[in-house]
Amino acid sequence: MIKAILIFNNHGKPRMSKFYEHYTEDTEQQIIRETFHLVSKRDENVCNFLEGGLLIGGSENKLIYRHYATLYFVFCVDSSESELGILDLIQVFVETLDKCFENVCELDLIFHLDKVHNILAEMVMGGMVLETNMSEIITQVEAQGKMEKSETLTLLFICQSMRQSQASRFSSKIS
Amino acid sequence: MSDVVEKTLSALPGLFDSQTGAARITSRLRQLVKSITELTSKNEEESLIKQELSSMKEQVSSPNTSMMREIMVRAMYCEMLGYDASFTYIHAIKLAQQGGVLEKRVGYLAVSLFLNEGHELLLLLVNTVLKDLQSTNVIEAYMALTVVAQVFPKDMIPAVLPLLEDKLSYPKEIIRRKAVLALYKFYLIAPNQVQHIHAKFRKALCDRDPGVMTSSLHIYLQLITESPDDYKDLTGSFVTILKQVVGGKLPVDFNYHNVPAPWLQIQLLRILSLLGKEDRSTSELMYEVLDESLRRAEMNHNITYAILYECVKAIYTIHPKAELLEKAARCIGNFVLSPKINLRYLGLKALTYVVQHDAKLALQHQMTIIECLDHTDFTIKRETLELLFRITNAQNVTVIVEKMLDFLHGCSDEHTIIHLVGKVAELAEKFAPDNSWFIQTMNDVFSTGGDLLQQDVPNNFLRLLAEGSESKEEDDQLRLYAVNSYLTVLKGDASHLPQRFLQVMSWVLGEYAHLQESVDQREVIRLLTQLLDQRSVSSETRVWILSALTKISEGQTDLILDLAESLSSSQDTVLRQQAQELRQLSQDSQLYEWVLPRGAPWDSMEVDSSLSFLDGFVSEALAAGAAPYKPPHQRQEELCEDRALNLEPYSFSLPVSLSSCSITDRQSPTLLSVSSGLSGNSTELSQKAGSSTLILEGVKRVWGRDGYLRQNETTAPPVDEPSAAVQPSGQQEAAERLEPQPEPSTQNQDKLQLASSLFVGLGAGSSMSLLGKSEAPPPRFRKKPRPHESSSSSSSGTSERSSDSSSRSSHSTTDSFLYGSLLEEEPATSISAFSHTPKSSTANGLAQNKDTKEDRRANTSQILGGDMVIVRPNTFQDKHPSLVSSDLTALLPADLKDLPHSDVISLTSDPSLSLSSCRLFRDEALLLVILISNCTETVIKDVAVQLTCEELETASLRGNVMNCLEGNSTSVCHYALLMDEPHTNVSFTGTVSYQTQPGHTNTLSFSGTLSAADFIRPLVVSTEEYGKLWLSLSHDVKQNLKLLTDASDPLRTTLNALKDALQLHVVDIIGSEGIVACRLLSGAPCLLHCRVNGAALAMWLRSPHPALPDCILYHCQRALAQH
């Protein structure tokens, strides 16, 4: 079972966090910090697995992560998941984000936190892997996006263009 | 037409509004994010977020919902950063309740992020979820399912359960798939509430959509992990699925990088390895497909390695097959030698796993392992050490432990330290080559492990020292080493040492310092007193030190008295008490001799476990009006009862006051066990009060829960006078050895030599001995079995087994469904059920029988042949045509005629014989009567009946062998069956052999099922007795059941229905509550308390047997469903 999915940037700023087990809010923050601490000090040429920190349950759990440009994607899973399988699941997740946002960048995650969560919900439900097929995930996300479109019609295009122009303006500041 | 236009026009402004709202959304959030990224300090961020939150608070109070979505997203953002936005929770729920589809989506998302399963606000969501689940809008149902699987209050599961079950047959596959996962979630949090839908899980497994099948594998992985035996019959199906997947029979959509459904393969391989574990026949079914998987997984992508890894693991888990093992070993080689670091990691993991079966494999890769040991990657290093840990033996222990300690010194991760230090300690205990090495290593363990150490490491160490082995001389030598080593340590700078280490040292010095004669006791005392003065020493450690001082202070009162004086005014009460005791003892040498007899064996110490010396005091206090003692849990219970608002579903509104009688009732057994549990150590221990936790372990358990514990081995040699134990010469030698010996320096040697030292003892011949590490070289320090351990572990584990045993459906159906869904080219005939050749007649009989049941439940008219059908007593009329006319009951033996009995049902028949059965309910057993009728005119000879049932015990049988059976006559044989362990359903099989012509034997086999309901008998008790019994029972289960609401008195109707179905005894009905009692034959009772709770019946069951309530609950559910 997947216990938690965390995305944070190179500075440890959380960009998305989803916990499938209940922790108190403080613990969640500590877990994010601890995980960042564990993951960030690893070189690029080491393996993508490490044992979970104390808070998330120690040797019972594994952290499986991938590092993309400015972002770390960390899945915390228990022994019932396959390490390499999860590693590729992260890849699927990121590729899906990329498809949905057209060239995803850190800012997309910040401004569309809800959409990221919705995409994730198509892949992982209650800690169980629901769907691993990218085109299927995108179909589902789009099917739900359609109602959004029907409600907000033309504005989407305006938003889209605004987002792109502003995103490029911010990205220099953030990174 | 104009209407439509008009509507559109009128809707436009609203649409426009929402658009501007949406525009504001992004701008506000953007504003927030932008300002946050511009900040430099945490403080600024905090104040900014606070500002943001307060502005949000203002906004939520205004009723504009178009803003709400945006606020939710902002709140999510703040929560993610770790700020409390709890005021938005209720609005999130509102949004999910009232909003349109879009709002609902954000609302549900926010709810699943903000709230946890136990959150009270979640109750407000239940109705919305129910409504949405029933909604015709797929998207709404979809969202509701998502939220159900994420967060749902456990108590409310019964409310949504039927809706979810409906969703399992929903036309849209994604809905079915989500429903399956939601049910799995329910299974995880409340297994007994979904046990009746196990059959539906099977249906999901056979779903025509591979996606739904995939999600059902989650459930099966879990179920099979819990009880592999119950699902062996599905092995064939899983193998078939895997075969089809590997063979590329799935749609191309499921491919990932040209690999067919890799995640599905991984899941299946895990399931198969669980099923095949230690089971030869099951393993044989899967060899072929494993081989196929290995072959098909060409090394071209990460994900194929994932499959290969699972394959290899499965091959090594199941019953071994040489050919496959060889292939798997080659695979592992590929992993280990791979330049990709991830694969190497997995290779090491695989090796670690495999090495238990085949140590030679590690030998093959020893050079790689050595390389990994020096790898820069922390994870790889750790995994390597884990591998080394597995291959440690008496010969290579020093090198391996050294490597581990090296690693530990350079490691800062707390978790790793704890984990690894425990392993080092374990190895040291098991394989230590000599005393000095052992003590040195343990010193290292204590000083690096520090206070993170798990408690049992020092405990075990002290126990080992204290209990010793068979040879007293060796023990004393070990103790002496320890004493010497600690004296050296203490002479150095002790301020940086961890508290645990200090505690261990002071205990050892206190106990054994006298063994070392060359050192003045005064010196020891001086060292210990020095420690006491140090500031870094915690007060707990001070207590340890002081008790050590107490032990060695005999005759040295001058040194101690000052100390005792100064500490007797300490702030710490425990320390003060200890100091007082020390003062008293040092003044009265006789008392000292009596309390702390030097070297007395522990066995000889007498413990007054009943604390009888306090009797006088207690009775005096009682006479003076003191309240009698209540054990803590009792106090807790009463506290709960006192609370003004009791929201628990159960409150005792029975007329009798139960608490008073229960106290006395309970006190006798529990109080005794509590007191003896506490004082289950020696008198000596009570002297060391305050520091009890650690020393408890160091002292032999003489008194346990059941009183005096017999030592089942030769008792430890008492610690005698030191002079006898240690010869002067040996002592000198010891002192010499104490000098830190130069460790065999491995650093300078090249890796080959390291390899040879690491892998020594793993050679060809010794691979067998490694299978069981413990049996190879006798462990140096053999632990004595702890006498009290055995009792603790036996009680658990029985309950899980029974819960799942009920729902087995046929493997043949599964197969045929699969053929139907996945294998189009399979001949059509095989789709029809039951055309498969049965694996064995037993399995087939069982399977068919179950199917019949299912079919009947579904009201299909497809009834199969002469199979047996289960009829439950009185509950529901069976419409089965093969029901035998009741005149057969007239054939029952006279002494049995009066017993309550079920209808007679036909079991099976052939041209000459027909069998039917009838169940008679006797108080202490179930009588299964088998009526054997001769349908022919001729005489049938040598009729013999044989009946087998694994779960049941046959108490007696009669009439199972007959010499001859006349034409057209009927004979009766009956079995008295007993059920010791509750099983929801048990099946029996049997055969009848007979001869129509001499020398020509025919056999006729039959099978059937008995339900636990057949074994439940009413327990006739009064309300008062019920109350007493209730409190004494421990295992309880609560659940809401359906209430039969059609009658005027629903509770009474429901209880009567249950009574009819299950032979319960309704003890009393008061208002909206009822109490019911029953028992399993003449064995374990089960008490039921029922309360009408709205439209449901809140049922609370208690029983001494953990599995019985579940079992009864299951039958109650069924009975009510049938009604």
Residues of chain B in contact with residue A174, where contact means CB-CB under 8 angstroms, are: 37
Cα separation, B949 vs B976, whole angstroms: 12
Q: Label residue B121 exposed, middle or buried (CB < 10 Å: 0-12, 13-18, 19+).
A: middle
Distance from CA of A66 to the nearest CA of B (A): 12
Q: Which residue of A has its CA nearest to B86?
A: A25
Model confidence at B675, pLDDT cuts 50, 70, 90, reads: very low
Mean pLDDT of B334-356: 86
CB nearest to B80's CB, from A17, A26, A89? A17
Distance from CA of A90 to the nearest CA of B (A): 12
Q: Which residue of A has its CA nearest to B344?
A: A47
pLDDT > 50? residue B41: yes
Mutate to test the interface with B, among A29, A122, A128, A151 (most CBs of B within 10 A): A128
Distance from CA of A25 to the nearest CA of B (A): 7
pLDDT > 50? residue B969: yes
pLDDT > 50? residue B137: yes
% of chain B beyond a pLDDT of 90: 2
Cα separation, B738 vs B99, whole angstroms: 79
Contact call for A16 and B80, based on CB within 8 A: yes
Residues of chain B in contact with residue A111, where contact means CB-CB under 8 angstroms, are: 26, 29-30, 33
Model confidence at B269, pLDDT cuts 50, 70, 90, reads: very high
A47 touches B at CB < 8 Å: yes
Q: Which of residues 137-176 of B touch A (CB under 8 A)?
A: 139, 146, 149-150, 174
pLDDT > 80? residue B719: no
pLDDT score for B512: 82
B367 touches A at CB < 8 Å: no
Mean pLDDT of B94-123: 84
pLDDT score for B268: 92
pLDDT > 90? residue B901: no
pLDDT > 90? residue B1119: no
Model confidence at B24, pLDDT cuts 50, 70, 90, reads: very low
Cα separation, B243 vs B261, whole angstroms: 12
Helix, strand, coil share (%) of chain B residues, nearest 5: 60, 10, 30
Q: Which residue of B has its CA nearest to A30?
A: B82
CB proximity list for B757: less than 8 A, separation 6 or greater: B396, B399, B746
Contact call for B23 and A87, based on CB within 8 A: no
Segment B1012-1021, tens digit of pLDDT: 888 888 888 8
pLDDT score for A58: 65
Q: Which residue of A has its CA nearest to B73?
A: A114
Mean pLDDT of B239-253: 88
| Predicted complex ipTM | 0.84
pLDDT > 50? residue B883: no
Q: In the numeric block, which tokens belong to residue B222?
A: 């879990």
Distance from CA of A147 to the nearest CA of B (A): 7
pLDDT score for B470: 67
Q: Do residues B806 and B985 touch, judged by C-beta distance below 8 A?
A: yes
Cα separation, B110 vs B75, whole angstroms: 9
Model confidence at B38, pLDDT cuts 50, 70, 90, reads: low
More confident residue, B988 or A124: A124
pLDDT > 50? residue B1112: yes
pLDDT score for A89: 92
Mean pLDDT of A58-72: 86
A140 touches B at CB < 8 Å: yes
Mean pLDDT of B284-304: 83
Look-up of token digits 């699902």: B231
pLDDT score for B762: 62
Q: At residue B702, what is the residue type?
A: V
Cα separation, B456 vs B742, whole angstroms: 30
pLDDT > 60? residue B711: no
Residues of chain A in contact with residue B33, where contact means CB-CB under 8 angstroms, are: 110-111, 170
More confident residue, A136 or B649: A136
Segment B988-998, tens digit of pLDDT: 888 888 887 77
pLDDT > 70? residue B665: no
Cα separation, B1082 vs B1084, whole angstroms: 7
pLDDT > 50? residue B678: no
Mean pLDDT of B214-238: 88
pLDDT > 80? residue A92: yes
Q: Which residue of B has its CA nearest to A49?
A: B379
Mean pLDDT of B31-49: 74
CB nearest to A126's CB, from B38, B181, B270? B181
Residues of chain B in contact with residue A173, where contact means CB-CB under 8 angstroms, are: 34, 37-38
Q: In the numeric block, which tokens belong to residue B1105?
A: 């047997």
CB nearest to B341's CB, from A17, A46, A126? A46
pLDDT > 60? residue B592: yes
pLDDT > 90? residue B672: no
Mutate to test the interface with A, among B80, B269, B412 (most CBs of A within 10 A): B80
Contact call for B100 and A151, based on CB within 8 A: yes
CB proximity list for A123: less than 8 A, separation 6 or greater: A89, A92, A93, A96, A129, A130, A131, A132, A137
Alpha helices in A41-75 (DSSP H): none
Mean pLDDT of B511-531: 79
pLDDT > 60? residue B811: no
The length of chain B, given as a count of residues: 1123
Segment B371-414, tens digit of pLDDT: 888 888 888 888 888 888 888 888 888 888 888 888 888 877 77
Q: Which residue of B has its CA nearest to A140?
A: B174
Contact call for A130 and B181, based on CB within 8 A: yes
pLDDT > 90? residue B452: no
Residues of chain B in contact with residue A82, where contact means CB-CB under 8 angstroms, are: 263, 266, 270, 306, 309-310
pLDDT score for B1110: 81
Contact call for B254 and A16, based on CB within 8 A: no
pLDDT > 70? residue A74: yes
How confident is the prediction for chain A on average, in pLDDT? 80
pLDDT score for B605: 59
Residues of chain A in contact with residue B379, where contact means CB-CB under 8 angstroms, are: 46-47, 49-51
pLDDT score for A75: 93
Mean pLDDT of B183-202: 83
Residues of chain A in contact with residue B18, where contact means CB-CB under 8 angstroms, are: 151-152
Angle, CA B991 vertex, CA B987 and CA B992 arms, to 5°: 140
CB nearest to B22's CB, from A84, A117, A155? A155
Q: Is the dihedral of CA B774, B775, B781, B786 positive or negative?
A: positive
Q: In the numeric block, which tokens belong to residue B813?
A: 């159906």
Model confidence at B856, pLDDT cuts 50, 70, 90, reads: very low
Q: Which residue of B has its CA nearest to A132?
A: B263
Mean pLDDT of B1034-1056: 78
How confident is the prediction for chain B on average, in pLDDT? 72
pLDDT score for A73: 94
Q: In the numeric block, which tokens belong to residue B384?
A: 């390597």
pLDDT > 70? residue B863: no
Contact call for B419 and A58, based on CB within 8 A: yes
Alpha helices in B1016-1093 (DSSP H): 1023-1032, 1050-1062
pLDDT score for B258: 82
Contact call for B379 and A50, based on CB within 8 A: yes
Give counts: helices (H), strands (E), chain B.
Answer: 48, 19
% of chain B beyond a pLDDT of 70: 72
pLDDT score for B890: 65
Model confidence at B892, pLDDT cuts 50, 70, 90, reads: low
Backbone φ and ψ of B105, nearest 5°: -60, -50
Q: In the numeric block, which tokens belong to residue B268?
A: 């299946």
The number of C-alpha atoms within 13 Å of B824 and in the hemisphere containing its C-beta is 3
Contact call for B33 and A85, based on CB within 8 A: no
Residues of chain A in contact with residue B71, where contact means CB-CB under 8 angstroms, are: none
Pairing of strands B926-934, A61-68: unpaired
A165 touches B at CB < 8 Å: no
Q: In the numeric block, which tokens belong to residue A81?
A: 């998941």
Angle, CA B382 vertex, CA B337 and CA B413 arms, to 5°: 145
Look-up of token digits 């057969």: B888
Cα separation, B1010 vs B987, whole angstroms: 6
Contact call for B26 and A43, based on CB within 8 A: no
Look-up of token digits 């709205």: B1094
Model confidence at B271, pLDDT cuts 50, 70, 90, reads: very high
pLDDT score for B860: 37
Look-up of token digits 């990121």: A94
More confident residue, B334 or B746: B334
The number of C-alpha atoms within 13 Å of B92 and in the hemisphere containing its C-beta is 23
pLDDT score for B603: 52
CB nearest to A25's CB, from B72, B84, B149? B84
Distance from CA of A77 to the nearest CA of B (A): 15
Mutate to test the interface with A, among B32, B69, B135, B263 (most CBs of A within 10 A): B263
pLDDT score for A76: 92
Q: Do residues B162 and B771 touch, judged by C-beta distance below 8 A?
A: no
Model confidence at B911, pLDDT cuts 50, 70, 90, reads: confident
pLDDT > 60? residue B624: yes
Contact call for B379 and A47, based on CB within 8 A: yes
Residues of chain A in contact with residue B102, where contact means CB-CB under 8 angstroms, are: 147-148, 151
pLDDT > 70? residue B809: no
pLDDT > 80? residue B132: yes
Mutate to test the interface with A, among B379, B382, B412, B454 (most CBs of A within 10 A): B379
Distance from CA of A169 to the nearest CA of B (A): 11
Q: Label residue B885 exposed, middle or buried (CB < 10 Å: 0-12, 13-18, 19+).
A: exposed
Distance from CA of A85 to the nearest CA of B (A): 6
CB nearest to B310's CB, from A26, A82, A174? A82
A24 touches B at CB < 8 Å: no
Q: What's the Rg (C-alpha) of chain A? A: 17
